[in-house]
Amino acid sequence: MTRGSPSSARSWGATPSSAHSCLSSRGGDLHRVASRRLAGFADAPQSIEIWLAGEWKPLAQSESKEITKRQAGGERHFEIACKGYRYKIDLDHMTQTNTRTGRTRTLRYADANPNAPKGSPMGFESFRKAFHDHAPGASLREAALVDSWPLDGERHPVLVDLTVGAMLRSMRLRGQSDVDLTEWSHYWALERDSPSFRAGADVNEKLAAALKRDARVLGRMQMHYETSLHESHATGGLTGDGLVRVCERLVKSPEQTIEQKWAAEVLEKRDRGEAVAEEDAELSYFDFLNVMLGRKRYKVSLWMYDISDGLAGRWSWLLLGKQFDGIWHSGLVVEFPDRTSEFWFGGKLFDSAAGTTPFGEPMEKRCLGYTYKTRDEIRNHMARYLAVEYSRDNYDVLTHNCNHFCDSLAIFLMNEHIPDDVVHQADQVMETTTATLLRPFLNRWLGGFGDSATVASSQVETHEMDAVDPGALVEFCRAEGGRPLVGEILE
């Protein structure tokens, strides 16, 4: 089966995804029809997202509606009230500022077809009803789901079988042939809440390990989340106070469980003064599991190398007419537990062990913050979205260099730019006559590391689709970070 993004395909993949895509299908989007009927989702209006805890997350529907309404009335700067807070909304800069804490966060409009519908987290009853509609007993078998698969139009047996099989494999956290109610509900809740397929997969890996020790822990976690939502009369998600109450109740319980240990770790983190949740955020089911399972964040730094080898600091005023401490090549460094990766651009994109690049020792290391993105997510983003833009053919020391790449990657990791003095240094340097004369040489040197055998093993290759013909079955994603789906090429 081929992987890629065909120009026209049909899909019966099961996910609430309705993300923007170049894919189309005969008889309408059967993929969306099937997923919404299976999980009981209803179409949601266009939403606004906020950068929160390292991910883009939807604002509450009431907030989105209020902002959209005020914008339609011609307002660009205004205040709204929500969850006991007041927020200043600036639509010129797309920011939300908490008037009590002064905390400012970035907003964006969600795509017309978001990666997953972001409805209320109180959706477990809908999931349970859908399960019982498809499973007459206590578990769901593959054959039963295939037979009851909702379709609008012609049936494609092979495509349906592949799609159902892939979906159930993702559901089977216990490794059994059948899927039970808790696995089904968990799958659809993550499809609704998870910011990306990889983020959801990380949660599932941890849960699968926990289920080997205690087969009932998943059901209890769903119970804890739903119970706390009900107690606090929440409609959007679990508050930070609600999370603390869950953990305190678990720690006091005489029953020794896995989640009791998780709860104790959350409270210990809080007692050390570390934030366990944003002060005004509401935790979705995905967020709740992430906190309880100990979601990891990774330090991000900008490593800066002086490609002039000290000459800039000593002679830049004489040669360039301006003083520069160094002529910077930069790499973005992320400290993962197994290996610290340095991501950089030198004609091609690379993922190297930090400090092993051809540039020697960095002259400066600047901490930029933290990211929750995994190495796989970063490499996938680089391969699919940055490798085409950042290539040897379009390398330019002035307009498209290593610092511009680091800036693009930093936006993906943290929604923040790298410092202006780094990303815009080339503009200042290349204004001089000497640097202009050196521009062709610098482009050949700094844009030619893809030819070096010493770094070839760390190249991040562009994801390109194989040549496929109509009728071929392919695996594709409707949006960046989305779940891989099965589809058929139409044209």
d(CA 482, CA 198): 8
Mean per-residue pLDDT over the chain, rounded? 77
Reported confidence tier of residue 366, pLDDT bands at 50, 70, 90:
very high
Residue 431 has pLDDT above 60, yes or no: no
Q: State the pLDDT at residue 468.
A: 62
pLDDT tops 50 at residue 399: yes
**Is pLDDT of 12 > 50?**
no
Q: Which residue do the tokens 């289920």 mark?
A: 211
Q: Higher-confidence residue: 158 or 486?
A: 158
Look at the chain and count its residues.
491
How much is the CA Rg of the chain, to the nearest whole Å?
Answer: 25
Strand-pairing partners, residue 306, are: 328
**DSSP symbol at 283:** B
CA distance 98 to 488: 47
Q: What's the whole-number mean pLDDT along residues 168-191? A: 93
Task: Considering only residues 453 and 250, tell me which one the structure prediction assigns the higher pLDDT.
Answer: 250
Residue from 437, 444, 389, 436 nearest 412 by CA:
389
Q: Which of 329, 381, 400, 404 is catalytic?
A: 329
Q: 298-458 falls under which CATH superfamily?
A: PPPDE domains (3.90.1720.30)
Tokens of residue 129, six digits: 């009803």
Q: Predicted confidence band at 463 (pLDDT cuts at 50, 70, 90)?
A: low
C-alpha 347/C-alpha 351 separation (Å) is 13
Which of 35-39, 187-191, 345-349 has the largest mean confidence?
Answer: 187-191
Residue pair 461/387 in contact (Cβ under 8 Å)? The answer is yes
pLDDT over threshold 70, residue 1: no
Task: Read off the pLDDT band of 271 (50, 70, 90).
Answer: very high
DSSP H or E run through 224: helix 217-231
Please indicate whether residue 319 or residue 37 has the higher confidence score (pLDDT): 37
* Domain boundaries, given as residue ranges, for the chain: 48-109, 211-293, 298-458
- Phi, psi for 36 (deg, rounded to 5): -70, -35
**pLDDT tier for residue 396 given thresholds of 50, 70 and 90:** confident
Evaluate if residue 268 carries a pLDDT over 50: yes
22 is catalytic: no
Rounded to whole angstroms, what are the CA distances from 463 to 8, 385, 386? 18, 9, 10
* Confidence (pLDDT) at 481: 64
Is residue 459 predicted with pLDDT exceeding 90?
no
Give dist(CA 88, CA 102) in Å, integer.
Answer: 10
Which of 179-214 are b and which e, b meaning 16 or more Cβ less than 10 Å from the residue's Cβ?
Answer: bbbbbbbbbbbbbbbbbbbbbbbbbbeebeebbeee
More confident of the two residues 59 and 215: 215
AA identity, residue 222: Q
Per the residue annotation, which of 402, 404, 406, 477 is the catalytic one?
402
Which fold does the domain 48-109 belong to in CATH? Answer: 3.30.720
**How far is the C-alpha of 215 from the C-alpha of 26, rounded, in Å?**
42
Q: Which helix (H) or strand (E) holds 105?
A: strand 104-109
- SS3 for 331? strand
- Ranges of beta strands (E only) in 328-381 are 328-335, 340-345, 349-353, 364-371
What confidence category does residue 324 fall into, taking pLDDT thresholds of 50, 70 and 90?
low
d(CA 341, CA 356): 10
pLDDT tens, residue by residue, 380-392: 889 988 988 888 8
Judge whether residue 280 has pLDDT over 70. yes
Q: Which residue has the higher pLDDT, 388 or 336?
A: 336
* 291 touches 396 (CB < 8 A): no
Q: How many degrees, rounded to 5, is the angle at CA 469 between CA 464 and CA 471?
A: 120
Within 10 Å of residue 46's Cβ, how many Cβ atoms? 13
Residue 37 CB neighbours (<10 A):
17
Region 252-256 average pLDDT: 90
Share of the chain above pLDDT 70, in %: 71
Residue 233 a catalytic site member: no
